[in-house]
A and B are shown apart, each in its own frame.
Chain A
Amino acid sequence: SQQGEEDPQALSIQEGENATMNCSYKTSINNLQWYRQNSGRGLVHLILIRSNEREKHSGRLRVTLDTSKKSSSLLITASRAADTASYFCATAFSSGGSYIPTFGRGTSLIVHP
């Protein structure tokens, strides 16, 4: 499998705390993306970081990328109950001239009010 792997599988925190999720992947990448999934819904794109970038911010989200370690982290600062969701990292690898997206198994985040 070409999947990335998120860590931890589950995370439970209090509102106001920071949440950090990690993603490791196997192949060389052009970019890495993070998605969010609310229970019973489709995934929603959060942020993309290119392979030549080391850090990127979007609102309360901070993403880092370490291509030497083939890993990325997603930090959600000052978490809110509404951040409760599953978070997935996604990469893509080239196969036979096509771009094949692949998702990790996800981190389930619960933020207690």
Chain B
Amino acid sequence: TAGITQAPTSQILAAGRSMTLRCTQDMRHNAMYWYRQDLGLGLRLIHYSNTAGTTGKGEVPDGYSVSRANTDDFPLTLASAVPSQTSVYFCASSAGLADYTDTQYFGPGTRLTVL
């Protein structure tokens, strides 16, 4: 079972360019999440989706957009990248349990450098 996959593994991007980070899960999970991880700051939630067709803003949503057209895919788009978006990006999914006992399953991450 693949679980949750992310692409690309790493990317160097010129400032001002756009880019979409891909995330796919095969566990039929309802909820999906995008985090960024920066040294000393831990994981910060960018956007989330509780179910297909819905999305919500996390702690640091500015400069990012997401869509959830189906259960499996949750792409993250940077419309016009800036150097402060240099980070490691993790996608995660969870079953979306009503009692909030969800375990999150993480992808391997995408290392993005914006120059």
Chain A interface residues (CB < 8 Å from chain B): 1-3, 30-31, 33, 35, 40-45, 48, 50, 88, 90, 92, 94, 96, 98-106
Contacts and interface: CB of A to CB of B under 8 A. Distances in A.
Interface in B85-105: 90, 92, 99-105
B33 interface: yes
B48 A43 contact: no
A67 to B, nearest CB: 15
Contact of A43 (B58, B99, B106): B106
B58 A31 contact: no
B101 A48 contact: yes
Contact of A98 (B35, B42, B48): B48
Given A88-B42, A105-B41, A106-B42, A33 B103 contact: yes
Contacts of B103: 33, 45, 48
Among A3, A31, A99, residue most surrounded by chain B Cβ atoms (within 10 Å): A99
Contacts of B40: 105
A92 B100 contact: yes
Contacts, number: 66
Interface residues of B, number: 28
Nearest to A30: B100
Interface of B: 4, 31, 33, 35, 40-45, 48, 50, 56, 58-59, 90, 92, 99-109
Given A99-B50, A102-B59, A103-B43, 4 more contacts: A44-B106, A50-B101, A88-B42, A94-B100
A105 B42 contact: yes
A33 B106 CA distance: 14
Contacts of B50: 98-99
Contacts of A50: 101
Contact of B104 (A2, A43, A105): A43
Contact of A31 (B4, B35, B101): B101
A69 B100 CA distance: 21
B24 to A, nearest CB: 14
Nearest to A106: B42
Which of B41, B44, B59, B104 is packed against the most chain A CB atoms within 10 Å? B104
B42 A3 contact: yes
